Amino acid sequence: MSSHAPRIAIVGAAGRMGRTLVNAVTREPQATLAAGVVAADSSLVGADLGELAGLGKLGVAAGASLAAIADEFDVLIDFTNPATTLANLAFCAEHGKAIVIGTTGLADDELAELDGYRERVPMVFAPNMSVGVNLTLNLLRTAATALGDEGYDIEVIEAHHRHKVDAPSGTALKMGEVVAESLGRTLKEHGVFAREGQCGPRSGEEIGFATVRAGDIVGEHTVMFATEGERIEITHKASSRMTFARGAVRAARWVAGREAGRYDMQDVLGLT
């Protein structure tokens, strides 16, 4: 375990989530904002991260690559895209860094590549860093175990802003996986991700997904357990990206100095 406030670097520091992460790190007395990275061809290379985040000067300049800041940080926070995340994971393995990954939309082969680093890098990988969402996952395990095999239909409904590029969201998929595992099912066999035309009645074991993309919705997820006569809905709504950023900083503090391994927010929160 690390005995000091970990030095945190943020990749994609000029983006919406990156700026929120900068803000979150500066609010955490047990962590230090040490570095940040923006696109190599960006006009913002060299800009002060505090000014990018609307905080005023912090004296930390945006770098053009991880190589340029390799000696300046202990833990990297990455909410980018699958290809960038995997490249950054390789960098962390080579340079002895820990990493917190909030990137979603990884394909099966990309997930397998990520998992291949579990013995080389201390990583926290979770589709949602929110403390509330991770508590919700525990509620879903309880509900699925009690209701799922008793004639309750299960549907997962999620909504995000118009800029989100993957669907269903990583959080929705994680919720579906938790429900499926509790019932001895798999999303590969029982997940239904589209309904159109004469698709027929639903089967008793399918887990349905519905996706909304609109406006500036930060993130809303509902898992519905419905049967004749009643409907139970477990819902989490996020109104600010700061919810995810605070969780990511908490994960960065937790993973600093730990042994190599693939951890998630359930580990960070002591819910495993």
Q: What is the pLDDT of residues 9-28, one digit of tens each?
A: 999 999 999 999 999 999 99
Report pTM. Answer: 0.81
Same domain, 56 and 161: no
CB 125 within 8 A of CB 264: yes
Query: Is the pLDDT assigned to residue 272 strictly greater than 80?
Result: no
Same domain, 251 and 230: no
Measured N-to-C along each axis, helices 131-147 and 170-182 cross at an angle, to the nearest 10 degrees, of 30
Confidence of residue 155 (pLDDT cuts 50, 70, 90): very high
Same domain, 96 and 35: yes
* Distance between CA atoms of residues 125 and 100, nearest Å: 6
Average of per-residue pLDDT across 71-76: 96
Mean pLDDT of the chain: 93
Same domain, 262 and 221: no
The active-site residue out of 4, 97, 161, 164 is 164
Residues 6+ apart with CB under 8 A from 201: none
Same domain, 18 and 120: yes
Residue 214 lies in a domain: yes
Average of per-residue pLDDT across 40-68: 91
Query: Is the pLDDT assigned to residue 40 strictly greater than 90?
Result: no
Same domain, 58 and 148: no
Residue 2 lies in a domain: no
Same domain, 121 and 252: yes
Query: Is the pLDDT assigned to residue 254 strictly greater than 70?
Result: yes
Domain of 143, CATH number, reads: 3.30.360.10
CB 35 within 8 A of CB 63: yes
Same domain, 120 and 255: yes
Q: What is the pLDDT of residue 233?
A: 97
* Distance between CA atoms of residues 249 and 74, nearest Å: 13
**Percent of the chain at pLDDT above 90?**
83
Query: Is the pLDDT assigned to residue 2 strictly greater than 80?
Result: no
Domain count within the chain: 2
Same domain, 16 and 110: yes
Query: Is the pLDDT assigned to residue 3 strictly greater than 80?
Result: no
The active-site residue out of 4, 97, 160, 190 is 160
Same domain, 120 and 24: yes
* Distance between CA atoms of residues 40 and 16, nearest Å: 18
Residue 173 lies in a domain: yes
Residue 249 lies in a domain: yes
Same domain, 156 and 210: yes
The residue range of the domain holding 45 is 7-125+241-268
Confidence of residue 4 (pLDDT cuts 50, 70, 90): low
Residue 211 lies in a domain: yes
Residue 164 is among the residues annotated as catalytic for this protein: yes
pLDDT digits over 185-240, tens only?
999 999 999 999 998 999 889 999 999 999 999 999 999 999 999 999 999 999 99
Residue 164 lies in a domain: yes
Residue 24 lies in a domain: yes
Same domain, 135 and 227: yes
Residue 181 lies in a domain: yes
* Distance between CA atoms of residues 167 and 178, nearest Å: 18
Average of per-residue pLDDT across 94-122: 95
Domain of 49, CATH number, reads: 3.40.50.720
